[in-house]
Structure 1
Amino acid sequence: MVENVIQFIDWLEANKRIEFLEHDYASRLNLICKLDGLQKAENYIQKIPVSYRGEVVYRTLLVNCVDSNNSRKAEEVFNRIKDLGLPITTFICDQLLMLYRRAEQKKIPEVLAMMEKENIKPSLLTYRLVIDTKGHASDISGMEQIIDMMKAEGLKPDLMIQCTVAKYYISAGLNEKAEAVLKEMEGDDIQENYVTRKSLLPLYAALGKADDVGRIWEICKSSRRRDEYVAAIEAWGKLGNIEKAEEVFEDMIKVCTNVSAKQYIALLKVYVNNKLLSKGKDFAKRMTDDGCHIGPVTWDVLINLYAEAGELEKAGLILQQASQRTENKPYYSSYLTLLDKYSKKGDVQNAEKIFLHLKQAGYVGKLKPYQYLLQAYINAKTPAYGFRDRMKAGNMHPNKDMAAQLVAADALIKSQTSSLFD
């Protein structure tokens, strides 16, 4: 489909049917990034008339670098934007913050300092990203300082920020502060504000507030929205009230039209999270009987179900069957779940098998599988000969945690070698 769009655009351009402007070139560039990768996209930029190689074009390339988690290329593009004298906008800074939030949080202060120096005004997204970063690092006081700064700038925390703040308060055990945020979220129009109701259900459940979950759910019931039913199923499941979760699901089946696998999966996840293998198996069969489309999401949940129950062979069989489908491949997380379990057991043979299948599925360039695989060797007290070479071949660079793993793995090799001379 994308290839056809690109061919059509090429035809329009070649036959002078439309006159391309910078936004048109940027759209073409975006399609090339998605279909052919960043390198071909960069090559295409050289074909764009110089007068149209502006901020919109390079901003489009930067977004795709960030989406690909390619820090090196993103930084190259950012430096090119600076070298060309193009404007450094809030949007561009937010892209860098999104990139660094995932992997290189130590660089976030550099971006914020640059914004302050260049008098680049933070957006609501800027504050969201920094608040989330602070909360994720358990820096609650730092998170609160950012909120105060935002309010001083005349910006009011939106629903997403409120949910994020409440979540981190709960994680830190600051339940009173979390409740205060939730009450603020409710306001006076909770009867009409379904988006907020949907957000409150899991947060009250995380606080263990069954009465509040029930109260909000009673307000939700009359609207008959599927996403509110799903939120209620998840909330009751989080509280361990399986009967209530099942009751909400059956009510949804009766009153909602077009109930899909997505809604079924909500209850299946409840069974998984509460380690109810028998119920999960029966419900998975019901999904098939009811005509649900079984795809990557369902496979992922089922693999988790069996893996958590210790039935790794069954989980592996589901993964194998799913990987043979041509229309969709299993999620990266499905492979990682099994790899983690085999790693903890020190089952090197099966860990190597999952690692190979993961690479065959096209999930390359990620460090976590190497960490799990190496840990399998360490837990099995088996030397991982040539592991550093394997990492180099995969263009992998160890982080701090994996560097410690490699030291432990090297010790096993030395121990094995020394024992030959005892």
Structure 2
Amino acid sequence: MRGNPTSTRPKARQWNNHYGTVDYENKPATTVTWKAIYKRISLMGNPEKGATEVLDQWENEGRKVTKWELCRIVKEMRKFGRHKLALEIYMWMNNKPESYTISSSDAAIQLDLVSKVHGISGAEDYFKSLPNNLVDKRTYGALLNAYVRARTVEKAESLLVEMKNKGYASHALPFNVMMTLYMNLKDQERVESLVSEMTQTNIDLDLYSYNILISSRGSQGSIEKMEEAFEKMKLDGSVNPNWTTYSTMATFYIKNGDFEKAEDCLRKIETLITGRDRIPYHYLLSHYGSIGKKEEVRRIWESYKTIFPYIPNLAYHAAISSFIRMDDIEESEFLYEEWVSIQSSYDPRLGNLLLGWYIRNGFVEKAETFLKEMLKVGKSNSTTWEIVAEGYIKENRVSDALSCFEKALSNEGSGFWRPKPVNIAALYSICERENDEQSKEAVFEVLRKARVLEDDVYMSYLPFYKQSKPENEPQKVNESEGDYEEAAADTLFNELQASI
């Protein structure tokens, strides 16, 4: 992995970006070129050839492509998670220093892509390879962001200290990134500590700072303190609450059972949706489903379909999960069948929603039939098999449950999957009760293959685990509480990432 940027200081304009982290050059009069190249790369018959071959072919045809167009393609690739292709485009630019000037913003984006394609060690190597003129608050910020995304706490904290010493932490962004790390680790005291530090050092809180603070206080169960942070935000003349602010507050009002205040927030969200932003609608569907407002879910869904001619998998997932949450299985099945009839790429997470409802409500045979239909029209993921295993565990069908766990482990993309400790504990308990030593060994084999036997925090959640729990082990949260907090944290983290 290597992409040496040039050491030439760029002559560039700046994008109108909240944090000013992306440089921009003059936009061409037409957007035909970037769209044509993007389409060629996206529709490559042999993805192994990579983006560079498409770009070389484009040049061999006697055509030119500007830096703006290449950066626009990269932006689109990143938007859809095609990080390897985006990185290849930058590598191609790096190899043509006579044609393309690489700025520190470009280097920051490359570092982000390297971290996603080659991991933290690759990102560190890339950072060390940068010439001095490309090492600034942007590239430092990109490395900090990579550490936070990987939850490497010590490295992130050490880098923040280094950034402070170099004068690269005189604005809100690095503090916001660190606050998302602490919030995801449920270390709310550190969030408050960073906010205090910002205040004491005259670093203004921005929109993201306030949204993170509101979420942090809400996750602590203090609605009063959450509202205090919101009032402070409204008094700050430089910041206006956005739809994420109200969505975050709605999350915790719902958790607290204050549906009236939650609905006030949801109505406010609808007034703040701008442009063709789909994401607020997904959260509206989820929130209205959480408070049992079926007619509102239908209204938002119909509005969504009117505004957007193309309905992505994520939107169907939001709608189906809302009806599932309200135990309306008929509407959920109808939407699922509608989605199956039009989808171009089967997403097992949608099928899992119905599968989970069948299992939770004791319809194991129905779940088995539905699973066969899922596999006929699409595919499974590891969670699919664990959901079915939960049904078998409830019926004391140890062998069938173990078979499901084995299939989960062998499923495509299972590398990051871990069985839920509660399911492993329940299965092991049945084995002990029935003196089934062979199946107990099989349970440990599942844990070995899932690579969790050496994870003391994971193993400490299992009653049969002998080692004492680590002193600094995070407190376990119940499933519903975790869902609420993770939903709020994910909203903020995703929005912050989009702004960087």
CA contact under 8 A between 1:167 and 1:178: conserved in structure 2?
A: yes
Distance change (3 Å), C-alpha of 1:92 and 1:363: farther
Residue 242 of structure 2 is aligned to residue 158 of structure 1:
yes
Structure 1 distance, partners of 2:196, 2:318, is 39
After superposition, residues 376-391 of structure 1 pair within 5 angstroms as: 376-377=464-465, 384=466, 387=467
Q: CA RMSD in A?
A: 3.9
Structure 2 distance, partners of 1:261, 1:40, is 30
Distance change (3 Å), C-alpha of 1:188 and 1:156: closer
> How many Å apart are 1:216 and its aligned residue?
4.2
| Residues 267-290 of structure 1: per-residue CA shift (max 9 Å, x gap) | 333324444322221111111222
Structure 1 distance, partners of 2:200, 2:97, is 45
**Aligned AA (2:145):** V
Residue 370 of structure 2 is aligned to residue 288 of structure 1:
no
Distance change (3 Å), C-alpha of 1:20 and 1:105: same
CA contact under 8 A between 1:97 and 1:129: conserved in structure 2?
A: yes
Structure 2 distance, partners of 1:41, 1:108, is 26
CA contact under 8 A between 1:268 and 1:280: conserved in structure 2?
A: yes
**Aligned AA (2:268):** E
**Aligned AA (1:288):** L
> How many Å apart are 1:65 and its aligned residue?
0.9
Structure 2 distance, partners of 1:35, 1:247, is 38
Structure 2 distance, partners of 1:196, 1:30, is 26
Structure 1 distance, partners of 2:372, 2:253, is 39
CA contact under 8 A between 1:166 and 1:203: conserved in structure 2?
A: yes
- Structure 2 residue matching 1:372: 3-state secondary structure: coil
Aligned residue in 2 for 1:414 = none
Aligned residue in 2 for 1:250 = 337
Aligned residue in 1 for 2:212 = 129
Q: Which of residues 305, 311, 321 in structure 2 aligns to 1:234?
A: 321
Q: Which of residues 252, 255, 260 in structure 2 aligns to 1:168?
A: 252
> How many Å apart are 1:197 and its aligned residue?
4.5
Structure 1 distance, partners of 2:227, 2:355, is 37
Distance change (3 Å), C-alpha of 1:345 and 1:123: farther
Q: Give the TM-score taking structure 1 as reference length.
A: 0.75
> How many Å apart are 1:110 and its aligned residue?
1.4
Aligned residue in 1 for 2:168 = 86
The sequence identity of aligned pairs, in percent, is 23
Paired residues, number: 383
Distance change (3 Å), C-alpha of 1:194 and 1:23: closer
Structure 2 distance, partners of 1:193, 1:44, is 34
Structure 1 stretch 61-70 or stretch 119-128: which is displaced more?
119-128
Structure 1 distance, partners of 2:92, 2:315, is 46
CA contact under 8 A between 2:385 and 2:407: conserved in structure 1?
A: no
> How many Å apart are 1:306 and its aligned residue?
4.0
Aligned residue in 1 for 2:151 = 69
> How many Å apart are 1:95 and its aligned residue?
0.8
Residue 209 of structure 2 is aligned to residue 120 of structure 1:
no
Q: Which structure is higher in RCO with an 8 Å CA cutoff and minimum separation 6?
A: 2
Q: Give the TM-score taking structure 2 as reference length.
A: 0.64
Structure 2 distance, partners of 1:5, 1:185, is 33
Stretches of structure 2 that go unaligned for 5 or more consecutive residues are 1-49, 51-82, 477-500
Question: Which one has the bigger helix percentage?
Answer: 1
Structure 2 distance, partners of 1:56, 1:248, is 44
Stretches of structure 1 that go unaligned for 5 or more consecutive residues are 378-383, 403-422
Structure 1 distance, partners of 2:111, 2:338, is 48
Aligned residue in 2 for 1:111 = 194
Residue 356 of structure 2 is aligned to residue 266 of structure 1:
no
Structure 2 distance, partners of 1:77, 1:282, is 53
- Structure 1 residue matching 2:168: 3-state secondary structure: coil
Distance change (3 Å), C-alpha of 1:28 and 1:217: closer
